[in-house]
Amino acid sequence: MAAANGGDSKGFEVPKLEIKFTKLFINGRFVDAVSGKTFETRDPRTGEVIAKIAEGDKADIDLAVKAAREAFDHGPWPRMSGFARGRILHKFADLVEQHVEELAALDTVDAGKLFAMGKLVDIPGGANLLRYYAGAADKVHGETLKMARPCHGYTLKEPVGVVGHIVPWNYPTTMFFFKASPALAAGCTMVVKPAEQTPLSALFYAHLAKLAGVPDGVLNVVPGFGPTAGAAISSHMDIDKVSFTGSTEVGRLVMEAAAKSNLKPVSLELGGKSPVIVFDDADLDTAVNLVHMASYTNKGEICVAGSRIYVQEGIYDAFVKKATEMAKKSVVGDPFNPRVHQGPQIDKEQYEKILKYIDIGKREGATLVTGGKPCGENGYYIEPTIFTDVKEEMSIAQEEIFGPVMALMKFKTVEEAIQKANSTRYGLAAGIVTKNIDVANTVSRSIRAGAIWINCYFGFDPDVPFGGYKMSGFGKDMGMDALEKYLHTKAVVTPLYNTPWL
């Protein structure tokens, strides 16, 4: 295993970073929490405190919702043309692009994400989502209906109102824009609760939104904890919709609270245990590289991580050998180091959870081929880990670990692969590696998951809707499907008299 510090620490710089925004953003201003409380956000590279953040709770959510309600009921945002909203979203995207380095650095110190990937993918991707929905904002329209009686009927698409967004910690920027971009384009106002582990970039985006011309009260950001601020959003009587990304367990609580309050609709993007199926005809090197990426991207802290790997028996042994060699070459260390492939886990709790699952895997009889240990003197680093001899009933094959742990299993036939891939309560994504188009078509139509990636992985794009089946939730992010979930459809009918045609 490569050194935990990424080898020689010389040759890379950690950018100087000023934490500019630590207060709640409500009604266009940064303010202290009503309680005056703060909480610490920590750097997973070292465990040290980065900053103290204002801690929002129910009282602060009430103020943010009040501002959002006023902005929706009486403000300009839902009343301006889609074209005008789109121009502001383009300005927002421009400002994001102007601050790529600073924003990427915030997500690196807050979440342990690779700095290079933040600059190349995450931050530009957020700007791209804004631009996609900026272009869609003036293309929201209903339909003219052909009624069977002398009436003129048509539908209107109207913004749902005030939205509560609850954002996870693994992709702070991406998830912020997954949710805020289509809701803003639709004309909604909102309260965003970033994860308590990663509030820094969300507060910066609130600042940029104000500079771009988003009116006060439209976008409010309230950092806080799930049982207080998150629960207040889910149960609030004046929030019209909740969009949540996180664990299936918390998703249940969000849905329950929404039902018990004002029966607000919810969209949930929840856990995953995604299979990648590698067939005998696959190019071995390509397959190993793809599976390595699927399992270890973002240190395995990704809902669609390819954590169940099914390899057909003809190439299984060769695959295990090459996958192990690649995992051993992976460099774990400081995410600011451009030589590093894998940074630290988000925090001590997640770090200990992953190590516990690794221990469970060994105790349940799986074979630890490589990795499985902490590395480094400071911070929350774990070696890329591979298990073989994994059985379907094992915890490491059924439960979402959210860490750099690959479970390798063997199969014989296409039918067996499909059965094994579907033997999970989750249904978020799946990968297929084969040169046979007939096999690819059969398997992609047989797996019960919301995203199927053939001879690729992480096939995300602003135009491609993303969301799960089964206990991975419901509702889509990205694509025009995401815009639709922030719109109501209203039917309007008026009688026709003396009309020459119907």
Annotated active-site positions, please?
269
List % helix, strand, coil for the chain (3-state, nearest 5): 40, 25, 40
Contact 349, 247 (CB under 8 A): no
Name the residue type at position 194.
P
**108: three-class secondary structure by DSSP:** helix
Question: How far is Cα 331 from Cα 120, in angstroms, rounded to an integer?
Answer: 19
Contact 246, 168 (CB under 8 A): yes
**H helix runs in 340-455, sequence order:** 348-363, 395-398, 414-421, 437-446
Looking only at Cα atoms, what is the longest distance across the chain? 85
- C-alpha closest to that of 65 among 193, 178, 155, 179: 193
Question: How far is Cα 306 from Cα 124, in angstroms, rounded to an integer?
Answer: 24
Contact 262, 237 (CB under 8 A): yes
Q: How far is CA 500 from the centre of its chain?
A: 53
**H helix runs in 21-81, sequence order:** 58-74
**207: three-class secondary structure by DSSP:** helix
Number of C-beta neighbours around residue 285 at 10 A? 10
Question: How far is Cα 79 from Cα 367, in angstroms, rounded to an integer?
Answer: 61
Structural tokens at position 339: 């030589």
Contact 81, 138 (CB under 8 A): yes
Give the count of alpha carbons within 13 A of 450, CB side only. 29
Number of C-beta neighbours around residue 476 at 10 A? 22
In sequence order, the β-bridge partners of residue 306 are 274
Q: Which residues contact 321 (CB under 8 A, 6 or more apart)?
A: none
**160: three-class secondary structure by DSSP:** coil
Name the residue type at position 23.
K
Contact 382, 345 (CB under 8 A): yes
Residue in this structure with the two tokens 């004002």, named with its chain if needed: 262
- Dihedral sign, Cα of residue 456, residue 457, residue 458, residue 463: positive
The backbone torsions φ and ψ at residue 279, rounded to the nearest 5 degrees and listed phi first, read: -90, 160
CA–CA–CA angle 199, 202, 203 (5° rounding)? 85
Contact 330, 296 (CB under 8 A): yes
